[in-house]
Amino acid sequence: MAESTDHVQVATFAGGCFWCMVKPFEEQPGILKVVSGYTGGHKENPTYEEVCSGTTGHVEAVQITFDASVFPYERLLELYWQQIDPTDDGGQFVDRGPSYRTAIFYHNEEQREKAEASKQALAKSGRFDKPIVVPILPAGPFYEAEDYHQGFYRKNPEHYHRYRSASGRDEFLAKHWS
């Protein structure tokens, strides 16, 4: 019997360095694929170097294909908030600059409404003492990053763990989400 694809959806999140955004999502049930890439800018088919230069308007992002009947969009949003500093609009942790900004890119009106509600709930929770600054934007073209960026945590586990540890991300997340 063929698997139904009625519940298969796509979500796109920018959370600073895309290396750190893949593993938390890939480990969840119902996640079919997580791709690192670039979105939100004006340059077609940008390279990593171009995006890092800050001239393309793109951010590093992950595009997640998921089965909403197993792992609903609301749970993706909850997990997303737990991976970032939602009060920082200048980048994330040690990664500074326009390509490391955060954003939720919605693919339909239902995603937009759920993202807005999720952002408002986080703001009202009192978990952070500064405003939640993550923009919620319409999804546009998504450009897959170079192969060496895909699944980086699996291909280069030592480098990945050193980077995460030194970036300040893990310390911040433990402080705010444990």
The pLDDT tens digits for 37-96 are 999 999 999 999 999 999 999 999 999 999 999 999 999 999 999 999 999 999 999 999
**149 CB-near residues (< 8 Å, 6+ apart):** 18, 19, 36, 48
Instruction: Determine what percent of the chain is predicted with pLDDT higher than 70.
Output: 97
pTM above 0.85, yes or no: yes
In degrees rounded to 5, what are phi and psi of residue 37?
A: -170, -160
pLDDT at 178: 77
pLDDT at 26: 96
Which two three-digit tokens encode residue 80? 């997303």
> Does the pLDDT at position 5 exceed 90?
no
Instruction: Give the C-alpha separation, 65 to 80, whole Å.
Output: 14
Pick the catalytic residue: 11, 14, 17, 173? 17
Domains of the chain are 8-177 (3.30.1060.10)
Active site residue 17: yes
DSSP per position, 47-88: -HHHHHTT-S--EEEEEEEEETTTS-HHHHHHHHHTTS-TT-
Mean pLDDT of the chain: 94
